[in-house]
Amino acid sequence: MAFSLFLIFVLAKLCVLWGSPAPITGWSLMAYVWQDALAALAFGAMQILLQRWAWILYGAIALYAAINVPVGRVLATPLTRPMLRAARGPLADSMREYVTATNMLLVLSLLVAAAMLPWILRRVPKEFWRVIAACGIALVLAGPAASRRADTHGMDRNVLLALADTGLPRTDASVLGSDWRRSSFARGPAQDLARFAGTGRGLNLVMVGLESTAAQYLGLYGAGHDVAPNLGRLATRALVFDNAYAVYPESIKELFSVLCSIYPAFDTPPEEYANLDCHSVASLLAAAGYRTALFHSGRFAYLGMEAIVRGRGHQTLEDAGDIGGNRQSSFGVDEPATVARMLAWIDALPRGQRFFLTYLPIAGHHPYATPGPGPFAGGGEIDQYRNALHFGDESLGALMDGLRARGLEQNTVWVIYGDHGEAFHQHPGNYGHTFFLYEENVHVPFLIVLPGRDRGQRVRTVVSLIDTAPTILDLMGIQPPDNYQGRSMLSGAPRMALFFTDYSLGLLGLRDGPWKFIYETGSGKTELFDLERDPAELSNITAREAARTAGYAQLVRGWSSAQQSYLAAAARP
């Protein structure tokens, strides 16, 4: 049974990797299977203890390995604890897309193989099992070294070990150090935008968090397709930040960093942020006399979003369940319904009342559904995605027109950002948004539109969405709290952008001037890119920049550990 299980693991991995562009070498072959050998040997040891009950465990593991095949074929990762937690009702439409005949045939074939292999292998002479066991032990001993030498993008992990690993702490808490965003490498000064401080005082504010919107897909960031003409229209008179980065490539934790200007932490679910002492930007504007509201086309109940938005200063909170709409999906409601609801809320305010309105659309989220055909006629998912962004932009245009019709255009500030990006295999295994830290995952648009300006300005300074709340308060002439970990984008002080993901591989990263760095917590593998010369992140230059690589690795490890300690200390009893 143990060797049969090993073969099932290997067959499942072959189903996932078939057609993969990853190079096959002696090191990579060993790297891909040593964890499977370890899991099989562990099962063999347990089989002695379990005796006849081992069949039940064998069947359960084989079934789990088979279920992982469709997941791996789509997302290039085994199932992890965060992924299982995310696989809830709101994602039903997305998951249904991959219940295909091919995937079901692969799952069924593996289950048939799992049933047949132990019966077939009973005929192998007993003396061969000692040789096989010895080979398995040798493979396990050599495997970690092979994994360090092979670029497997995490697909070397066994499905059971990946699940176990993501259920354990992957970084340690330590005492908070100094400013983690201060680079130790010399750089030129950032652009000083201090003249804009206070220019929004007394004005309304509309903040829009565009769902799954990477900068590289927008015309105003150089894309060849104009998926967002209304956003482009705003950009002609906006401060457009060319190098803005998400803190975390997933909406819920990213929203926490935007509202509270506090970094989330590794392996920490959103529910744990409910008790944090957070002076959210909404609560501070409410205290300054603004009426505050947040409207979300999705559902607050998904992935702990309730803990992020409740009690954060929004006097009105509405999601898909409150809004209703003309079109329901598992993830939420149509954007026109949400826009109509927001305009009705504005109409109900007393005349002259200042307001802070936050709009969180879902257009752009997989499965990229739109009510009708869009302008991009290709049949691929990237075209569906572009149509979804275009549909969301139409609703942004409707909100812009609604404010103009109400005479509010000239006394309203807009802050518009992408909450994270979206990947379409620009790098091996990179699909969706949560699993990697490449530009398609974390480089996002960020615009500030001030009334009365007739031309825009490009800003090259590296900024982070952690800077959103202090920037808004700086614009509105309000002093930000001392516990904010971001700083105003209007400040001329240079800073780095820090980001991480823990959905599958544990990855930490930063952007420092032209440099982009990514660190894998489990293996210690590093990637360093010079984005001025290599904007597509194709050439890893860690060997050439050993000192910079070592310095960045130490910094991101220290930051991640310190943030866990900080959040533990900041939690209210």
Q: pLDDT tens for residues 290-341?
A: 999 999 999 998 888 999 999 999 999 999 999 987 666 667 889 999 999 9
**Cα–Cα distance measured from residue 540 to residue 527, given in angstroms and rounded to the nearest whole number:** 5
| DSSP calls for 1-17 | -HHHHHHHHHHHHHHHH
| Higher per-residue pLDDT: 90 or 301 | 301
- Whether 125 has a pLDDT exceeding 60, the answer reads yes
Q: What is residue 285's DSSP assignment?
A: H
Q: Could you report the per-residue pLDDT of 184-194, keeping only the tens digit for each?
A: 886 666 788 99
- Are 66 and 110 in contact by the 8 Å Cβ rule? The answer is yes
Beta bridge partner(s), residue 520: 507
Helix, strand, or coil here: 324? Answer: coil
**Cα–Cα distance measured from residue 568 to residue 565, given in angstroms and rounded to the nearest whole number:** 5
Mean pLDDT of 135-162: 89
First to last CA, the chain: 50
Give the residue from 6, 291, 235 showing the smallest Cα distance to 137: 6
Here the tokens at position 121 are 């292998």
> CA 216, 219, 221, 223: dihedral to nearest 10 degrees?
50
Assign 3-state DSSP to the chain and report helix, strand, coil percentages, each to 5.
45, 15, 40
| Higher per-residue pLDDT: 169 or 256 | 256
Residue 393 — very low, low, confident or very high, per pLDDT cuts 50/70/90? very high
- Are 202 and 354 in contact by the 8 Å Cβ rule? The answer is yes
> CA 84, 88, 93, 94: dihedral to nearest 10 degrees?
-30
- Structural element, H or E, at residue 424: strand 423-424
Q: Could you report the per-residue pLDDT of 197-241, keeping only the tens digit for each?
A: 999 999 999 999 999 999 999 999 999 889 999 999 999 999 999
**Cα–Cα distance measured from residue 99 to residue 496, given in angstroms and rounded to the nearest whole number:** 42
Q: Could you report the per-residue pLDDT of 438-483, keeping only the tens digit for each?
A: 999 999 999 999 998 878 999 999 999 999 999 999 999 999 999 8
**Cα–Cα distance measured from residue 432 to residue 435, given in angstroms and rounded to the nearest whole number:** 8
Cβ atoms < 10 Å from Cβ of 309 = 22
Here the tokens at position 85 are 């937690």
Cβ atoms < 10 Å from Cβ of 367 = 18
Beta bridge partner(s), residue 359: 208, 295
Spell out the domain ranges in the chain.
2-165, 195-286+334-353+361-410+417-449+474-485+496-570
| DSSP calls for 502-560 | -SSS-EEEEEETTEEEEEETTT--EEEEETTT-TT-----TTTTHHHHHHHHHHHHHHH
- Are 431 and 76 in contact by the 8 Å Cβ rule? The answer is yes
**Cα–Cα distance measured from residue 350 to residue 356, given in angstroms and rounded to the nearest whole number:** 14
- Structural element, H or E, at residue 184: none
- Are 232 and 240 in contact by the 8 Å Cβ rule? The answer is no
- Are 6 and 112 in contact by the 8 Å Cβ rule? The answer is no
Q: What is residue 192's DSSP assignment?
A: P
Residue partners of 222: CB distance under 8 A and separation at least 6: 216
Peptide bond into 367 cis (omega under 30): yes
Give the residue from 152, 137, 235, 262 showing the smallest Cα distance to 525: 152
Average pLDDT, the chain: 91
Question: Which amino acid, one-letter code, is at 173?
Answer: A
**Cα–Cα distance measured from residue 415 to residue 472, given in angstroms and rounded to the nearest whole number:** 8
For the stretch 518-529, what's the b/e string if a residue is b when 16 or more beta carbons lie within 10 angstroms of its beta carbon? bbbbeeebbbbb
CATH superfamily of 195-286+334-353+361-410+417-449+474-485+496-570: Alkaline Phosphatase, subunit A (3.40.720.10)
Q: Could you report the per-residue pLDDT of 532-541, keeping only the tens digit for each?
A: 999 999 999 9
Q: Exposed, middle or buried by CB within 10 Å (0-12, 13-18, 19+), for 289?
A: exposed
| Higher per-residue pLDDT: 367 or 477 | 477
**Cα–Cα distance measured from residue 335 to residue 395, given in angstroms and rounded to the nearest whole number:** 6
